[in-house]
Amino acid sequence: MAATFRPHAGQATSTLPINMPSKAPASTNYFSISRVAGSPPEISDVSTTTGSASDFDVSSSGYSGVDVIDTLNDRMSNVFDPTRLDKSIAKQTQLSGQLNAKQRELQELQALMQRRIKGARSNFAEGIKAAKETKSDLEWTQKRISSMKVKAERNLPSEYRLASSKYAFDDDC
Protein backbone atom coordinates (compact mmCIF):
# COMPACT_ATOMS: atom_id res chain seq x y z
CA MET A 1 0.00 0.00 0.00
CA ALA A 2 1.39 3.37 -0.92
CA ALA A 3 1.08 6.37 1.33
CA THR A 4 1.76 9.96 0.55
CA PHE A 5 4.08 12.10 2.52
CA ARG A 6 2.74 15.51 3.53
CA PRO A 7 5.39 17.99 4.50
CA HIS A 8 5.12 20.35 7.39
CA ALA A 9 5.17 24.05 6.86
CA GLY A 10 8.48 25.17 5.50
CA GLN A 11 9.39 21.83 3.88
CA ALA A 12 9.42 20.86 0.24
CA THR A 13 6.10 19.75 -1.21
CA SER A 14 7.27 16.70 -3.18
CA THR A 15 5.66 13.35 -2.40
CA LEU A 16 7.55 10.11 -1.97
CA PRO A 17 5.89 6.67 -2.04
CA ILE A 18 6.36 4.60 1.14
CA ASN A 19 5.37 0.95 1.48
CA MET A 20 3.35 0.38 4.65
CA PRO A 21 2.44 -3.04 6.03
CA SER A 22 -1.19 -4.08 5.96
CA LYS A 23 -3.08 -3.89 9.26
CA ALA A 24 -5.45 -6.74 8.39
CA PRO A 25 -5.06 -9.69 10.82
CA ALA A 26 -3.04 -12.56 9.46
CA SER A 27 -4.63 -15.99 9.65
CA THR A 28 -3.08 -18.30 12.25
CA ASN A 29 -3.00 -22.06 12.32
CA TYR A 30 -3.78 -22.13 16.04
CA PHE A 31 -7.18 -23.10 17.34
CA SER A 32 -8.52 -23.36 20.84
CA ILE A 33 -9.39 -26.73 22.30
CA SER A 34 -12.97 -26.96 23.36
CA ARG A 35 -15.54 -29.63 23.85
CA VAL A 36 -17.37 -30.27 20.61
CA ALA A 37 -20.33 -32.55 20.14
CA GLY A 38 -19.10 -35.15 17.68
CA SER A 39 -16.21 -37.51 17.05
CA PRO A 40 -13.00 -36.38 15.41
CA PRO A 41 -12.27 -37.59 11.92
CA GLU A 42 -10.34 -40.82 11.68
CA ILE A 43 -6.63 -40.19 11.19
CA SER A 44 -3.60 -42.38 11.74
CA ASP A 45 -2.43 -43.12 15.29
CA VAL A 46 0.84 -41.32 14.61
CA SER A 47 1.23 -38.46 17.04
CA THR A 48 1.56 -35.01 15.46
CA THR A 49 2.29 -31.72 17.13
CA THR A 50 1.20 -29.36 14.36
CA GLY A 51 -2.12 -28.92 12.66
CA SER A 52 -4.67 -26.42 11.67
CA ALA A 53 -8.30 -25.82 12.38
CA SER A 54 -9.21 -27.31 9.00
CA ASP A 55 -7.95 -30.74 10.16
CA PHE A 56 -11.05 -31.09 12.33
CA ASP A 57 -14.14 -30.17 10.39
CA VAL A 58 -16.78 -29.58 13.06
CA SER A 59 -19.57 -29.16 10.56
CA SER A 60 -19.25 -32.69 9.13
CA SER A 61 -21.93 -35.21 9.87
CA GLY A 62 -19.45 -37.58 11.62
CA TYR A 63 -19.78 -35.83 15.00
CA SER A 64 -22.41 -37.48 17.14
CA GLY A 65 -22.02 -36.30 20.74
CA VAL A 66 -18.48 -37.64 21.40
CA ASP A 67 -16.12 -35.53 23.49
CA VAL A 68 -12.95 -34.50 21.63
CA ILE A 69 -10.86 -34.40 24.82
CA ASP A 70 -11.92 -37.92 25.81
CA THR A 71 -11.16 -39.20 22.34
CA LEU A 72 -7.70 -37.57 22.38
CA ASN A 73 -7.05 -39.05 25.83
CA ASP A 74 -8.05 -42.49 24.53
CA ARG A 75 -5.69 -42.14 21.58
CA MET A 76 -2.86 -41.00 23.85
CA SER A 77 -3.40 -44.01 26.09
CA ASN A 78 -3.19 -46.24 23.00
CA VAL A 79 0.02 -44.52 21.87
CA PHE A 80 1.63 -44.41 25.35
CA ASP A 81 4.00 -47.34 25.97
CA PRO A 82 4.16 -48.18 29.70
CA THR A 83 7.25 -50.39 29.25
CA ARG A 84 9.66 -47.61 30.21
CA LEU A 85 7.60 -46.83 33.29
CA ASP A 86 7.51 -50.52 34.21
CA LYS A 87 11.29 -50.77 33.80
CA SER A 88 11.86 -47.75 36.01
CA ILE A 89 9.49 -49.12 38.67
CA ALA A 90 11.33 -52.46 38.53
CA LYS A 91 14.67 -50.68 38.91
CA GLN A 92 13.35 -48.65 41.85
CA THR A 93 12.10 -51.87 43.44
CA GLN A 94 15.51 -53.50 43.00
CA LEU A 95 17.26 -50.48 44.49
CA SER A 96 14.81 -50.44 47.38
CA GLY A 97 15.48 -54.14 48.02
CA GLN A 98 19.23 -53.54 47.93
CA LEU A 99 18.90 -50.62 50.34
CA ASN A 100 16.78 -52.72 52.70
CA ALA A 101 19.38 -55.52 52.56
CA LYS A 102 22.17 -53.05 53.36
CA GLN A 103 20.09 -51.60 56.19
CA ARG A 104 19.62 -55.09 57.69
CA GLU A 105 23.34 -55.78 57.26
CA LEU A 106 24.19 -52.53 59.05
CA GLN A 107 21.81 -53.41 61.89
CA GLU A 108 23.43 -56.84 62.23
CA LEU A 109 26.89 -55.27 62.28
CA GLN A 110 25.73 -52.74 64.84
CA ALA A 111 24.37 -55.53 67.06
CA LEU A 112 27.68 -57.42 66.70
CA MET A 113 29.60 -54.27 67.60
CA GLN A 114 27.43 -53.75 70.69
CA ARG A 115 28.04 -57.34 71.80
CA ARG A 116 31.79 -56.86 71.32
CA ILE A 117 31.74 -53.59 73.26
CA LYS A 118 29.82 -55.30 76.05
CA GLY A 119 32.46 -58.08 76.14
CA ALA A 120 35.29 -55.53 76.12
CA ARG A 121 33.67 -53.62 78.99
CA SER A 122 33.28 -56.85 80.94
CA ASN A 123 36.94 -57.73 80.34
CA PHE A 124 37.98 -54.21 81.32
CA ALA A 125 35.94 -54.43 84.54
CA GLU A 126 37.55 -57.79 85.35
CA GLY A 127 40.99 -56.27 84.69
CA ILE A 128 40.25 -53.34 87.00
CA LYS A 129 39.07 -55.77 89.68
CA ALA A 130 42.24 -57.88 89.31
CA ALA A 131 44.40 -54.73 89.47
CA LYS A 132 42.69 -53.63 92.68
CA GLU A 133 43.16 -57.09 94.21
CA THR A 134 46.83 -57.08 93.19
CA LYS A 135 47.32 -53.63 94.70
CA SER A 136 45.67 -54.79 97.90
CA ASP A 137 47.91 -57.90 98.00
CA LEU A 138 51.01 -55.77 97.36
CA GLU A 139 50.08 -53.36 100.16
CA TRP A 140 49.55 -56.28 102.56
CA THR A 141 52.89 -57.80 101.51
CA GLN A 142 54.65 -54.44 101.93
CA LYS A 143 53.22 -54.06 105.45
CA ARG A 144 54.25 -57.60 106.30
CA ILE A 145 57.82 -57.07 105.06
CA SER A 146 58.10 -53.76 106.93
CA SER A 147 57.00 -55.37 110.18
CA MET A 148 59.47 -58.26 109.67
CA LYS A 149 62.25 -55.73 109.03
CA VAL A 150 61.46 -53.85 112.23
CA LYS A 151 61.45 -57.12 114.20
CA ALA A 152 64.77 -58.24 112.71
CA GLU A 153 66.37 -54.87 113.44
CA ARG A 154 65.13 -54.92 117.00
CA ASN A 155 65.93 -58.60 117.78
CA LEU A 156 69.20 -58.96 115.85
CA PRO A 157 70.75 -55.48 115.45
CA SER A 158 74.34 -56.52 114.58
CA GLU A 159 73.29 -59.08 111.98
CA TYR A 160 70.82 -56.61 110.52
CA ARG A 161 73.53 -53.90 110.12
CA LEU A 162 75.86 -56.41 108.47
CA ALA A 163 73.17 -57.58 106.06
CA SER A 164 72.10 -53.99 105.34
CA SER A 165 75.63 -52.97 104.40
CA LYS A 166 76.13 -56.09 102.30
CA TYR A 167 72.74 -55.97 100.56
CA ALA A 168 71.95 -52.31 100.28
CA PHE A 169 68.40 -51.56 99.09
CA ASP A 170 66.27 -48.49 99.02
CA ASP A 171 63.48 -48.34 101.57
CA ASP A 172 61.36 -46.02 99.41
CA CYS A 173 60.44 -48.73 96.90
Residue 77 is predicted with a pLDDT of: 78
- Asked whether the whole model's pTM tops 0.75, one would answer no
For 10, how many CA atoms within 13 A lie in the half-sphere containing its CB? 0
Residues 6 or more apart whose CB falls under 8 angstroms from that of 41 comprise 55, 56, 57, 60, 62
Question: Any idea of the CA torsion for 92, 95, 101, 102, to the nearest 10 degrees?
Answer: -140
Residue 106 is predicted with a pLDDT of: 97
Does residue 55 register a pLDDT over 80? no
Residue 164 is predicted with a pLDDT of: 83
CB 3 within 8 A of CB 18: yes
Does residue 170 register a pLDDT over 70? no
pLDDT band at 165 (very low <50, low <70, confident <90, very high): confident
Quickly list H helices, 18-82.
Answer: 68-79
E runs forming strands in the chain = 2-3, 18-19
